[in-house]
Structure 1
Amino acid sequence: MLDLAPQAEVASDEAFFAPIGRDQFVTDFWGRRPVRLPGWQTRFATLYSLDAFQRDLVGAVSPDRPRAPPPLLKAVHNRDGGGAVFHPPANLAMALFDGGMTLCASGLEAHDARLSHALDWLKGQLKFAGKAEINAYYSPEGEGFAWHYDCQHVFILQIAGSKRWEFSEEPGVHSPPLAIALNVASAPQGSAAARLAGLDIRLPADLEIHEGRLNPGDALYLPPGVWHRAFADTYSFALTLTLQPLSLAQVLRSVVTLLANTDVVGRRDLHRGTTDPRQGLGSEYDSASNAFLSNLWTKLAKMDAADLVKLYGELQQEELLQRLADA
């Protein structure tokens, strides 16, 4: 983990990765290890504000954007890892904040032209073509999130207030397929499920842990799988820019779903003729299912990785992926 000293203000496109620059960030940190980038108080002052956040909660109109529905809002209490989550209407948000809950609003790039531009710029800088979004976290004193790791790249930009962070020097698991909390990963059932999924998860106790405070203008990058927890001082307001990786496993799952759904055998109910599909299929399905699988493997064998990714991209463009996932 590299912890650098602040530097004087630079041009806006350079400021995001200051003081190390984009090239060093990509070479040394992107997807590998965390880096804290101390800044200056006005570093993100023109990007977003607490006033803008409160405006966007109610979907108000501003000169730089049309009216949009309010962002997805949740209120979270997760100081000890147990947690409680609510999805309140916007008019109750501040009452929940005053009651000690963190407010999280998702998808703010759809509500603010500057945030949308910043997200597109970051994706271009990193040559990242995947899904991305900007969330805001507004935490009262002492509130935040207990130990967990995420399955996406996360950039935290401190806008106002301050927050104390602890994070691991390296990922507890590389390229994790899903996010997980420490209280789940360390429980017997959680660790057994991880082993079943082929994940060898190292817990925070097994890793070097860094501590630091983010003040206005500071930034922190956390790659997928890095354990972290954070708690506000008097209060904290920060943006998170979240970039979702695309794995070959995700591509393969979607393509297999597409191919399987083109055959009626792939769409049939496996519960018919058996009390537990894990113990075997009903006799009426055995031969048809085996023939179906043989045909499916033949189709897949004709594809290489580039073919799979191309087909996945076509599914995305035609907005079929979600419908297939829900089928």
Structure 2
Amino acid sequence: MSALHAESGDPGTDFGAGVAQARLLDVPPSEFATGVWAKRALLTRGADDYSDLFSASAVDELLSRRGLRTPFLRMAKNGATLADAGFTAPAGVGATIADQLDDTAVWRQFADGATIVLQALHRTWDPIGAFTSQLATELGHPVQANAYITPRANRGFDDHYDVHDVFVLQIEGTKRWIIHEPVHPDPLRDQPWTDHRSDVAAAAQRDPVIDTVLHPGDCLYLPRGWLHAAEAQDEISIHLTLGVHVWTRYAVAEQLMNDALARLRNDPAARRSLPVGVTGPDDVVEAVREQLRTALEQADAAPAFARSRNGQSRPAPLGPLAQQTACDALDESSLVRLRGGLAARLDGNRLHTRVGWLDFEAEELPRMMGLLGEQPCVAADLGLELARRLLRAGVVLPAQP
């Protein structure tokens, strides 16, 4: 299920060379997988130069030219999130939607000490989209990206914890990070830090585990639940937070239970009415417990897990006009490639992907296996009919020679 092992013996694929090892970590993959992941914070100095991913000019372009709307932007100051009305407005003729960011208002709030939070950058900034997609594939868990732009000597948020793991990548400027151990280890997504506000405040007064200043190129990994607060130093700070929305045993338990309950809905004995005059379940609870135990033994979490996994990430971008042009111009010399981020897998003669499924004839399967190797294929090797079908389904994209 997971590409990393939180505990020895967990199932998962090998976690090895890739963007995580090349750009985020200075420990061997095996050490990160078994000794760091979901267990402790890890600071890596000079992990990489992240200027190809994001920059101050990227911030300005997004804020002034892209027509962003909430919730792709929020602002915070002194631990409180600002009301959207303080930095949004209609954008004139033909763009009168009121929740578009107003770059003048954003500038004024920023100049007054507010932190700019650019959310879901994996959807709005191509270099980050490609990076997070590759990282998610390596980790086996969905990844999203936010940027935090904080004025000098300011902080946007007080001590808190996140309900997802994070990699913090310092892009520009410097920021002091103060890290404390969890007060509620491994929180689920519906267990925010505000449920433990007093414990968080008390823990923040104790000696930190890490108190350091991040410089451009530094990377900090924090498992979910670890307390943190950060403050920009003597210049504007820009950092990326890559949020890893980890799958948990609880999520698998939910999927098993949902499947078991669905099975019981189809069991006449489970649907039977309790006796007239019943005052409680005592007379039937053991029988129901046994029915539930049997249903759980038969339950299968895999289909629900696959649906959830597919719904939490998107495939690589597809340009509709380029795709149509590729379909119209397809010939035996055309190059196509498997679309990235599809989570494609063959089950018998059926190909499952994030954009749907396709069935194939037995003689087509060897050609499909070659395509799943993710190297570009010549349409003649696939067969023109199959290549056209895959293009129309959005499973393959035109490739450059």
Q: 1:310 to 1:18 in 2, by over 3 A?
A: closer
Contact 1:17 1:25 in 2 (8 A): no
Distance 1:13 1:75, change over 3 A: closer
TM-superposed deviation, 1:145: 2.0
1:108 match:
121
Q: Which has the larger radius of gyration?
A: 2
How far the C-alpha of 1:109 sits from its partner, in A, is: 0.6
Instruction: Report the CA distance between 1:14 and its aligned residue.
Output: 4.4
Question: 1:134 and 2:127 equivalent?
Answer: no
Between stretches 16-25 and 290-299, larger displacement belongs to 290-299
Match of 1:5 in 2: none
Cα displacement string for residues 221-263 of structure 1 (whole angstroms, at most 9, x for unaligned residues): 1111211111111321110000112223334446656776896
Cα deviation 1:127-174 (Å, max 9, x = unaligned): x2x332001111112223211112211000011111111102x43332
Q: 2:179 aligns with which of 167, 188, 198?
A: 167
> SS of the residue aligned with 1:156?
strand
CA distance in 2, matches of 1:299, 1:58: 57
Q: Which amino acid aligns with 2:249?
A: L
Give the letter for the 2:173 counterpart: G
Please give the per-residue CA displacement for 1:158-214, whole angstroms capped at 9, x wherever unaligned: 11111111102x433321222305981339xx9xxxxxxxxxxx9345665321001
The alignment partner of 1:28 has SS state of helix
- Give, in whole Å, the separation in 1 of the partners of 2:278 and 2:123: 48
> Partners in 1 of 2:74 and 2:129 — Cα distance?
21
Cα deviation for residue 318 of structure 1 reads 8.2
Return the match for 1:36 from 22, 40, 43: 43
Q: How has the CA–CA distance of structure 1 residues 294 and 97 changed in structure 2, closer, same or farther, with 3 Å as cutoff?
A: farther
Q: Mark the CA change 1:182 to 1:102 in structure 2 (over 3 Å): closer, same or farther.
A: farther
Q: Name the CA shift for 1:113/1:319 in 2 (closer, same or farther; >3 Å).
A: closer
> Is residue 260–residue 295 contact of structure 2 (8 Å, CA) maintained in 1?
no
- Separation in structure 1 between the aligned mates of residue 245 and residue 303 of structure 2, nearest angstrom: 19
1:314 CA displacement: 4.8
Which residue pairs with 1:48 in the alignment? 54
Shift of 1:49: 1.2
3-state SS in 2 of match to 1:76: strand
Q: How does 1:201-240 map to 2 (within 5 A)?
A: 203-205=203-205, 208-233=208-233, 234-240=235-241
User: Aligned residues: percent identity?
Assistant: 22
Q: Give the aligned residue type for 2:83.
A: F
The secondary structure found in structure 2 opposite 1:93 is helix
Which residue of 2 is the match for residue 302 of structure 1? 295
Query: How much does 1:103 deviate?
Result: 1.2
Q: Hey, what's the Cα distance between the residues in 1 that align with 2:279 and 2:286?
A: 11
Q: Displacement of 1:30 after TM fit? A: 1.2
SS of residue in 1 equivalent to 2:236 = strand
Post-superposition CA distance 1:26-68 (Å, at most 9, x none): 232111111111117x71011111221232346739xxxxxx8
User: In the TM superposition, what is the alpha-carbon distance from 1:24 to its structure 2 partner?
Assistant: 2.7
Aligned to 1:313: 305
The alpha-carbon distance between structure 1 residues 213 and 312, as it changes in their structure 2 partners (threshold 3 A), is same
Q: Which amino acid aligns with 1:86?
A: A
Q: Is this contact kept in 2: 1:15–1:43, CA < 8 A? A: no
Amino acid paired to 1:140: P
Q: Mind listing any 5+ residue stretches in structure 1 that lack a counterpart? A: 1-10, 62-67, 191-201, 264-282, 321-327
Task: Report the Cα distance in structure 2 between the residues aligned to 1:182 and 1:287, rounded to whole angstroms.
Answer: 33
Residues of 2 paired with 1:285 and 1:136: CA distance?
58
Larger strand proportion, structure 1 or 2? Answer: 1
Q: Is the 8 A contact 2:183 2:199 kept in 1?
A: no
For residue 118 of structure 1, what is the aligned residue in structure 2? 131
1:317 shift after superposition: 6.6
State the partner residue of 1:151: 163
Report how far residue 78 of structure 1 moved.
Answer: 3.1
Contact 1:150–1:224 under 8 Å retained in 2: yes
SS at structure 1 position matched to 2:157: strand
User: d(CA) in 1 for partners of 2:65 and 2:299?
Assistant: 42
Are the aligned partners of 2:167 and 2:219 in contact in 1 as well (CA < 8 Å)? yes
Quote the Cα distance in structure 2 between the aligned partners of 1:180 and 1:315: 28
The alignment yields a C-alpha RMSD, in angstroms, of 4.0
CA contact (8 A) 1:164 1:213 kept: yes
How many angstroms apart in 1 are the aligned matches of 2:258 and 2:198? 29
Contact 1:71 1:108 (8 Å CA) reproduced:
no
Q: What runs of 5+ residues in structure 2 fail to find an aligned partner?
A: 1-17, 89-100, 266-275, 313-401
Cα separation, partners in 2 of 1:302 and 1:13, compared to 1, 3 Å? closer
TM-score (norm 2): 0.55
1:2-13 pair list within 5 angstroms: none
- TM-score scaled to structure 1, two decimals? 0.66
What's the offset of the Cα at 1:73? Answer: 1.2
Change beyond 3 A, Cα 1:117–1:308: same
